[in-house]
Amino acid sequence: MINLPTAPSFKLFNKTALVAGGTSGIGLACAVALAEAGAEVTLLARNLENLRETQNAFLAKGLNCKIMALDICDVEKLEAEIATKPAFNILVNCAGTARHSAATDTSYDDFDAVMNVNLRGAYFLTRAIAKGLIGANKGGSLINISSQMGYVGGIERAVYCASKHAVEGFTKAMAIEFGAYNIRVNSICPTFIRTPLAEQTLKNPKRLKWIEDNIKLGRIGEVEDIMGAVVYLASDASALVTGTALMVDGGWTAE
């Protein structure tokens, strides 16, 4: 008699998820995807008004949603607040920013602004969630929304690429360190996704051509393209996946 295997579940019932940058763009899409899969989602962002508006939209759709108004750049306050909460099973680190220019024109302020959000904030938030899980003796899935630019270079993107390459580095190192606690750490690396953050680039005909020439599937990404990836990495379906990057890049990095 053949014993057939049972497919692992993509459902997230009885799981709690924290989504940083969850009020717009990719972060909002990730939050919706996790909530629809059954997780109780907490949105983390700076703007309380935006948080409340987004929470109301979730509740109107019958989705679980809490809010946390914090600045990811204020890492001491962030870690202190996270320490007061029950351990989150899932983290999606999606708060991000970009200030594009030629490397020769990069200002100190632009460099610091990008690194403070994309790297410093992401690093210490990931650490804070991991500490909570370790203290509660629970496993979890920590997901950094990185970028294809964490693996390749880009026009006028030296600072942004530096921040995302660094995210890939600490993702791998933390995966090694936290594996003993059954805490998985992975990244999702999107190509250009149609969001407010990408709007200025997509309006530039020269940049748009460069993007379309490099995406092998021939189209700009939509936030919906990330939703399945985040549910996969958050769920038991990826139980043996850690320290890796899930490319959602339309084939950009295939070369």
Distance CA 40, CA 199 (A): 30
What are the two backbone dihedrals, phi and then psi, of residue 157, each rounded to the nearest 5 degrees?
A: -130, 30
- Please report, for residues 11, 59, 70, 129, 222, the alpha-carbon distance to residue 63 in angstroms, rounded to integers and kept in the order given: 14, 5, 22, 23, 22
Q: Which residues contact 132 (CB under 8 A, 6 or more apart)?
A: 82, 83, 85, 86, 87, 88
Q: Where is 45: in which H helix or E strand?
A: strand 40-45
Contact predicate 169/214, CB 8 Å:
no
Nearest one of 106, 114, 174 to 141, comparing CA atoms: 174
Distance CA 216, CA 254 (A): 9
Which stretches of 98-174 are assigned E, i.e. beta strand? 140-145
Q: How many beta carbons lie within 10 A of that of residue 229, not counting itself?
A: 21
Q: Pick the catalytic residue: 108, 123, 151, 160? A: 160
Q: Is 123 annotated as catalytic?
A: no
The catalytic site residues sit at: 160
